[in-house]
Amino acid sequence: MAGLDADGFPASRLFNQGFSYTYDDVIFHPGFIDFPADAVDLSTRLSRRIRLSTPCVASPMDTVSEAAMAAAMASLGAAAVVHCNTEPHIQASIVRAAKSRRLPFVSSVPIFSTSSAPSLNDFAGHDYALVTEAGDSLSKLVGVAVAADAAAANPPAPVSEYMRPAPRSASAAFDFEQAAAFLADEGLDYAPLVSEEGEVIDLITAKDIERIRSYPKLGKPSLGADGKFVVAASIGTREDDKLRLEQLVQAGANAIVIDSSQGNSTYQLNMIKYAKNMYPEVDLIGGNVVTIAQAQNLIAAGVDGLRVGMGSGSICTTQEVCAVGRGQATAVYKVASYANDQDVPVIADGGISYSGHIVKALTLGASTVMMGSFLAGSHEAPGAYEYKDGHRVKKYRGMGSLEAMTKGSDARYLGDTLKLKVAQGVVGAVADKGSVLRFIPYTMQAVKQGFQDLGASSLQSAHDLLRAETLRLEVRTGAAQVEGGIHGLVSYEKKPF
């Protein structure tokens, strides 16, 4: 009679057969359910000392993570890593902008001086603009300009002629409910957001409040010891990145990610040692790695977290160009099996296309998943929407693309000193996904249901079941993968939520 050992394989056996598996290659067997899906606890750690209630991280890419993404992800209990493909002072200002508020969005309305004469184009699609004496956030707020009033002025007139008096300001320390109550109590359609130091941070509107209320209710936000949003930021491994590191720490970055496609290098080891010596209070995340040997070197150097993945992203061509990397499921399992024993959380970076991939990454040992294309195209991603073949899209590019390399990302691939540049990524476009404030909560609900089917009531429970060999897996054939997806239909409409 066949026993339990004949029903699938434990991970320790499946991932030691010399094959490199992706998420789609493997499938988990269901476990025993004795709890509701809503009881699943997805709380986790980004790094040794930073806790999150949602196991999602926005990738440090210039078409994914800037201030709006960082504020939105933190408000959801997740986090974002601000990209370093810009000047250090600009990156630091992005970190400060995200940490300067407790609201889940960044409007980034223009700021004009009283003497300026902006055209409608200068409003950049916003209904309002702030007016200060000198046209910057640090000078005195004097009014609010309305785009409709500017459109009526032809030719453009000085903003002082039509601006409206500034209403009472809301505190930048307000969370969403406090801001909503403030606008309602004051009977305002909009209000400037001003910090305790008097800096003009942003503008909140009744439309913003109404939009956020239409999304699932916000959960526990990611807050640091300072009571502000958790925001991480990336740096490279070159000498001038030490200045970038200093500016990011001064801006309040909660964690620093050393951004490299192949992290097992003398350059990264030296940067880890420097950063840990200079700023021991800041958690440092190293990578990228895909093997235990790579992980051992970075952990020995002192990292507080590891990014796992090489060539698995939708816009990454490293495996194709360089013939180096590893299937993401195998990489996550192998590195996590070692790193977890060292109390170093693992970030599964890349290869996430839908909720099932998140379930697999987390169950195989990751503490969080890092996403690029999954979040690109969202309302919070940088860039403007455009129409392509009738579809509303946003640009999404790999940091190894030639286009991104011209901005400085070639250092990530150790190619900044090379005369000949070879791309390890492409430039593309992704469909409009709406707001992360809407689709991340639905995605996490799907992940909870996946954990329920596994019989795992938390991330730690899933990891324990995997190590105890209670969770069983199998490899899926190509036909099994087809069968496990939508098939046999003439047409269909896929609406996940």
**Residue 83 burial class via C-beta count within 10 angstroms: exposed 0-12, middle 13-18, buried 19 and up:** buried
C-beta of residue 257 within 8 angstroms of C-beta of residue 412: no
CA distances from 313 to 292, 371, 383, 401 (A): 20, 9, 20, 12
- Asked if 24 and 485 touch (Cβ cutoff 8 Å), the reply is no
Three-class SS state of 218 = coil
Residue with tokens 């999954």: 374
- Which is catalytic among the residues 244, 412, 438, 472? 412
| Sign of the C-alpha dihedral computed for residues 221, 224, 226 and 231 taken in this order | negative
Q: CA nearest 82: which of 384, 72, 69? A: 69
Active site residue 316: yes
Q: What is the DSSP string of 249-265?
A: HHHT-SEEEE--SS--S
Contacts of 390 (CB under 8 A, 6+ apart): none
| 355-376: b (≥16 Cβ within 10 Å) or e | bbbbbbbbbbbbbbbbbbbbbb
**C-alpha neighbours within 13 Å on the C-beta side of residue 43:** 9
Alpha-carbon torsion, ordered 209, 213, 215, 221, to 10 deg: 80
Strand partners, 258: 235
Round to whole Å and give the CA distance between 404 and 310: 18
The one catalytic residue in 316, 326, 397, 438 is 316
Active site residues: 316, 412
